[in-house]
Homo-oligomer: A and B are copies of this chain.
Amino acid sequence: MAKGELSFEEFRRMVSLSMENMCRDLYLGNRASIKIKKEPVAVGNLMKILDAALTLSNKKGFSAMSLRELSSQSGLSMGALYTYFSSKEDLLHMIQRESAVVFDVLTAQLEGVRDPQARLRRAIRTHLFLSEILRPWFYFSYMEAKNLSKQEQKKAIEAELLTEKLFVDIVREGQDVGVFRDCDAELVAAVTKAMLQDWYLKRWKYARRKTTVERYAEFVTDVVEGYLGCGRRGEKKS
């Protein structure tokens, strides 16, 4: 385990991004369009709806999921569904917007960490831990981005570039300080993100091999640090 870093379970407890909390946050953020007044009822049903929606969407795609399927899978009637969103597209955007909250968590976790090498490790770990906790949300957000409206698509692209910029800045600062060697920071950030995304896009592969998220985090960190010329080379079990 890395020095001074939280383990995955510690991290999970700390951020408390359970389905219930996500749905409560989603409810409070969409009180205008959700017709249900009583919070406990609304949150409970939103959990059923989002659970079903993420399951069905991630299995067959959002547009291939019919609202009748969503109705029977969630246990709510068609009419009830429409008290929680005003259209199928509205549901899509609700999920997409709620998925974006993680960026705040990511930046928050980096606050106060100034050393570039520590920041890099922290950013990789946090990103992986978040995607592990909210895998269905991440997967949905990635795969269904094409269904968004043009303007929401722009926002999604900007968010993607913003996350990447976060890594670019870390690499650049490390280069300025002299701890990272000179290289194309944008490419480093790009492939780092690619490796992070693989964790939730191809989750079944790592699950089958019983690779833990902590192990994967360490590995990705090693690869990136290795390229940046600051990794501690040492023993690894094959």
Q: Would B146 and A59 count as touching, CB distance under 8 A?
A: yes
Say yes or no: B191 contacts A219, CB within 8 Å: yes
> Is the pair B223, A227 in contact by a Cβ cutoff of 8 Å?
yes
Q: How far is the CA of A32 from the CA of B229 in the complex (A)?
A: 57
Among the stretches A15-23, A117-125, A230-238, the one at the interface with B is: A230-238
Interface residue from B64, B161, B191, B238 paired with A182 (Cβ < 8 Å): B238
Cβ of A194 within 8 Å of any chain B Cβ, yes or no, is yes
**A103 close to chain B: CB less than 8 A:** no
* Given the contacts A64-B63, A198-B194, A223-B227, A236 and B183 also touching, CB distance less than 8 Å: yes
Flag whether A211 is at the interface (Cβ < 8 A): yes
Judging by beta carbons under 8 Å apart, are A198 and B187 in contact? no
8 smallest CB-CB distances across A and B, nearest first, come from A194-B198, A63-B64, A183-B236, A226-B227, A191-B195, A223-B227, A194-B194, A187-B219
Interface residue range, chain A: 35 or more
Check B236–A184 contact: CB distance below 8 A. yes
A209 at the interface (CB under 8 A from B): yes
Chain A contact residues, CB within 8 Å of chain B: 59-61, 63-64, 143, 146-147, 160-161, 164, 175, 181-187, 190-191, 193-195, 197-198, 202, 205-206, 209, 211, 216, 219-220, 222-223, 226-227, 229, 233, 235-238
Complexed CA–CA distance, A109 and B147 (Å): 37
Interface of A is mostly: helix
Q: Is the CB of B64 within 8 A of A184?
A: no
What distance in Å separates the Cβ of A100 from its nearest Cβ neighbour in chain B?
18
Task: Say yes or no: A198 contacts B190, CB within 8 Å.
Answer: yes
For this complex, 9 residue pairs linking A to B, each with C-beta atoms less than 8 Å apart, are: A60-B63, A143-B143, A175-B238, A182-B236, A186-B209, A191-B219, A194-B194, A223-B223, A226-B226
Do B184 and A219 touch (CB < 8 A)?
yes
Complex contact A238–B190 (CB within 8 A): no
Q: Are A146 and B61 neighbours in the complex by a CB distance under 8 Å? A: yes
List B contacts of A195 (CB < 8 A): 191, 194-195
